[in-house]
A = this chain, B = another copy of it.
Amino acid sequence: MVQAISLWVGIMAGHGKAKRGIPPKSDFNSWYPSIVEIAELVDKRYPIKGMDVWMPYGLMSMRLIDQLARREMERTGHSEFSFPLLVPEDLLDKENRLVSRLKAAREAGVDPSEMRAEEEPTGFKKEVYWVTHGGENKLDVPMFLRPTSETPMYTMFSLWVRSHADLPLKTFQIVNTFRYETKQTRSFIRVREIHFFEAHTVHSDQQGADDQIEEDAEMVRRILHDLCLPAIVSKRPVWDTFPGAWYTKAADVVMPNGRTLQVATYHHYRDQWAEAFDLSYEDTDGGSKMCHQTTFGMSERLLGAVVGMHGDDNGLILPPSIAPHQVILMPIAPHSDAKVTPTVEDISARLSSAGIRTKIDDRDVRPGVKHYDWEIRGAPIRIEIGPRDISSGKCIVSLRTGGKSDEPLDGIVETVTRLLDSVSDTLRIRAEELNDSLVRPLPVDPTSGLAQSENAYSDGTVYELAFDGNDSDAEALEKLTGLTLLGECDEELTNEVPCAITGRLTSKRYHIARMY
């Protein structure tokens, strides 16, 4: 792979892209779409909008994110499956009946715990791609490309789950999903073919599902920590709850333009989906009980968040956890000193055997060009080794987050390990600072209350507020500000303050923002 990649530096440089023309990051809406191509993550010129070609470097980063997810899934005892892409339309009937039933219950006000599902039964059909023909034959039953896998999975789960001994059933898959997206597409953020990660679990009771939701939250925290991304975790408002879910929680990353990007969701279904799919089990007492379920989803948006959050005017900055090459070794003047190449190879071998992803860039170009290329691609550490360094037993180490130092060749593995950690720490600190600068209290005038014009609310800000109103208060808030309610934040306010709408004292923390 090492050898093959340097080819791509060459090819992309040759194909006429404005490689030397990265827009300033302060112009984020120009910077982001440029950098994903300039850094060779994707090529957007495929003739279907929102379906990019994954280039080798982008694919390697995404696979490393997959590995973080797999690590968490293994740690928590989930098994990996792969379900078919196509779903026959008639399997949707169960799902539609579920959504209709919940909607009816909500309208009748029979059970607040079921007052969650909002979408029209037909809403889902509007968002998928339909396969209608096989060859020249019209299919008896049309099929759609999965937008997510509840329907295909739960059809099978109802065959697999028989007794309490089969529970909990903890599954996941990493597949591509499809949305017929009519809004403007953006690489990783809003695409029509989505690299998707979904876990689905089945439990014998609500407590099991409750615990799973806790486990999901912990997995999200660990993965976001590895990606050096702060996030706001909220319980979505009723109207933004996944169809058929009791409630939905989501993690949102605040991007540099102040828009929030939903990067993970987890849903507690109670037994609502189970009833629709006849997912019951025989309990120890011989009785039949409905299962409780959860799902957990993440996607290539994680990579979008990494790109958007950490990059700078010079290109990407990849967290060491997902950098395809954590260390770039640059031999200097290898032809003038026969010791250079073997020394570089020795250091590469030592770093690699310590599990550090290392690449030797031995292209026959000036060191400046190499620095430039690996700055754009966001490699965390670059090391130069030339004749002078070897004679002094040192090398020159540059961090992508800034700083350059002479480091002894002895103990280079320990040095690099420490510096990789320091790059991660720097990224976390900077990301927190950026996040904090973009999240501000919603201005409430003590006498006149909230400003009554949308113009009073900055497009590039996430507003934090105290809120304890009902659904119609929330609706009024969204209408007034022109922003979207992320929902009730997992972290409460430290003090009770007046609700921005009702004026009642509360410690419930909410956010409103423009969402991607």
Contact = CB atoms under 8 A, between A and B. Distances in A.
Contacts of A16: 162
A14 B162 contact: yes
A159 interface: yes
13 contacts: A4-B74, A5-B79, A15-B162, A45-B156, A53-B82, A60-B80, A86-B193, A125-B135, A128-B135, A129-B134, A129-B143, A132-B132, A135-B182
Interface residues of A, number: 69
Given A1-B79, A14-B162, A84 B134 contact: no
Nearest to A160: B11
A126 interface: yes
Contacts of A159: 15, 43, 45
Which 7 pairs from chain A and chain B are nearest by CB? A134-B180, A54-B82, A51-B84, A4-B79, A126-B135, A130-B133, A56-B79
Contacts of A135: 125-128, 180, 182
Nearest to A180: B134
Contact of A43 (B74, B156, B163): B156
Interface in A40-88: 43, 45-48, 51-56, 59-60, 74, 77-86, 88
A398 to B, nearest CB: 26
Interface of A: 1, 3-5, 7-8, 10-11, 14-16, 43, 45-48, 51-56, 59-60, 74, 77-86, 88, 91, 125-137, 143, 145, 152, 155-156, 159-163, 165-166, 169-170, 176, 178, 180, 182, 193
A56 B70 CA distance: 13
Copies of this chain held together in the complex: 2
A186 to B, nearest CB: 16
A193 B46 contact: no
A193 B15 contact: no
Contact of A1 (B10, B74, B127): B74
A501 to B, nearest CB: 36
Contact of A10 (B11, B78, B84, B166): B166
A170 B6 CA distance: 12
A78 B1 CA distance: 7
Given A14-B163, A180-B134, A48 B128 contact: no
A4 B126 contact: no
B84 A193 contact: yes
Contacts of A83: 46, 53-54
A123 to B, nearest CB: 10
A16 to B, nearest CB: 8
A178 B78 CA distance: 28
Contacts of A52: 84
